[in-house]
Amino acid sequence: MASQVLVAANRGPLSYDLSADGTLDARRGGGGLVSGLSAALAQQPDALWICAALSDGDREAVRRGVSEPGVRMLDIDPAVYDDAYNGIANSVLWFTHHHLYDSPRTPVFDARFREQWQSYTAYNQAFAEALAHEAAEGARVLVQDYHLALVPGALRELRPDLRIAHFTHTPWAAPEFLDMLPGDVREQLVQGMLGADVVGFHTTAWADSFRAGARPDEERTRVAVFPLGVDADELRALAHRPEVDEKLAGLREEVAGRKTVVRVDRTELSKNILRGLLAYRELLTVHPEWRGEVVHLASAYPSRQDLEAYRSYTAAVRELADEVNAEFGTPDWQPVLVSVQDDFSRSLAAYRMADVALVNPVRDGMNLVAKEIPVVSEAGCALVLSTGAGAYEELREQALTVNPYDVSATAEALHAALAMPAAERADRTKRLAAAATALPPSAWFEAQLTALSR
């Protein structure tokens, strides 16, 4: 049966691992897109989510006809997929939108880049064709993220009857960074996006960057802001499951009554984990009164390990954490506890015991963690938040805000956050939680459907 509401995203709600004995184990991937969409689509039983097979396990699932209801995985040729996902989406487009290039060396747009761009085009075309095939007459289609920037334009060609929205979960590059792309590629990217009726972003800052670079005719393509928030009831229920209680008991034992500075991220270059550790080191140097009194719980679970830049970043995070522990640690106090496991229950347990939440990305579409921790923290937490996070727009007034490059200012903000009186912390946390839950996933999704109905 053809669908009235369709979502297209590179990542699906679940991905499968193929074990040696041939069984398939489903697991949920990290990141804001999956959290937000999974929560929103739980309220949309008839919607169809089209995603890519990410792994051999996923390809095997497609072959065996294993899938979640309401999900269709596309089995794209692995070499094409690798070029599109690792080569273009996560290298070129991610680095462009997050301003991560190190310009003396990168980017390099050469013959290999052109091959990868061909693959990216083919991968986007495969999504457009699948959507065209599955969509009912006049259906509404919500295309997600930089992986699928060419889909709106390609789908418009195939099915002019459809109403198409594109939503970007990342920042949008400032014009001078978009201009680093070869001219024809930049043009294809912009024209692909402009095939949509509505182009959505988390914040006005990213919407304005898009306007400045793409110069849309807003009679044809509306640019709109839908700041994704969290569902307080659902998140609190998740955070109070028995397995989280168990992890919490374990963490409490390790922390032994000390204060906590909590961060939870994919090990991701844009999250600025290294400068966060440098700031914590400076805190312990400049404010020695915190030695032995605080533990930094840093959960940095692996991400995109096919890319060398991510592998070396992950190694650098571990090394720096080890250095801080070697410099300050004592037999009964380990200053930093790094966890590199993708363990959602442990993260929720850390949220519950957070006294301070550290969210200091250099540039980040939203950063849902900044919204989740205040909702779940038990005694109330002070939020140290960088100006580069999308969440800054909504949370700035109740957070301690920092320039993400200013390590000394971040150290001072950590000090102020740790020293904040309990009553002020509780009061700010209440306001942070209210702002964080203003547009929960189901309302965020509905707002986009409504924008398409106009």
* Binding-site ranges for ligand G6P (CB under 6 A): 11, 29-34, 90, 145, 169-170, 303-304, 365
- Could you tell me the smallest distance in angstroms from the CB atom of residue 392 to ligand G6P? 17
Q: What are the residues whose beta carbons fall under 8 Å from the beta carbon of 357, sequence distance 6 or more?
A: 261, 262, 263, 369, 370, 373, 374, 377, 381, 382, 383, 384
CB of 34 or CB of 452, closer to ligand G6P:
34
Q: How far apart are CB 390 and ligand G6P at their closest, in Å?
A: 11
Helix axis angle, 183-193 relative to 111-134, nearest 10°?
Answer: 10
- Residue placing its CB nearer to ligand G6P in the complex, 13 or 276: 13
SS (H, E, C) 76-143: CCHHHHHHHHHHHHHHHHHHHHCCCCCCCCCCCCCHHHHHHHHHHHHHHHHHHHHHHHHEEEEEEEEE
Q: Are 121 and 144 in contact (CB under 8 A)?
A: no
Residue in the shown chain whose Cβ atom is closest to ligand G6P: 31
CA distance 2 to 9: 18
Min dist. Cβ of residue 12 to ligand G6P (A) = 10
Which is closer to ligand G6P, CB of 172 or CB of 280? 172
Q: Which two tokens stand for residue 206?
A: 């990213």
Query: What backbone phi and psi angles, to 5 degrees, belong to 72?
Result: -125, 120
Which helix (DSSP H) or strand (DSSP E) does residue 4 occupy? Answer: strand 3-8
Distances (CA, A) of 203 to 82, 170, 302: 30, 10, 27
Closer Cβ to ligand G6P, 41 or 420, answer by number? 41
Nearer Cβ to ligand G6P, position 230 or 284?
230
| Helical axes 441-453 vs 32-41, angle rounded to 10° | 80
Question: What's the closest the beta carbon of residue 198 comes to ligand G6P, in angstroms?
Answer: 18
Yes or no: say if 37 and 81 are a contact pair by the CB < 8 Å rule. no
Nearer to ligand G6P, 89 or 376 (CB): 89
**Which CB atom, from 266 or from 415, has the smaller least distance to ligand G6P?**
266
* Nearest distance, CB of residue 305 and ligand G6P, angstroms: 10
Angle at 442 between CA 437 and CA 443, to 5 degrees: 65
Provide DSSP, 336-353.
EEEE-S--HHHHHHHHHT
Q: How far is the CB of 90 from ligand G6P (least distance, A)?
A: 6
- For strands 400-402 and 382-386, give the pairing: parallel
Please give the single-letter amino acid code of residue 107. P
Residue closer to ligand G6P by CB (options 113, 167) is 167
Q: How far is the CB of 450 from ligand G6P (least distance, A)?
A: 23
Smallest gap, in angstroms, from Cβ of residue 370 to ligand G6P? 13
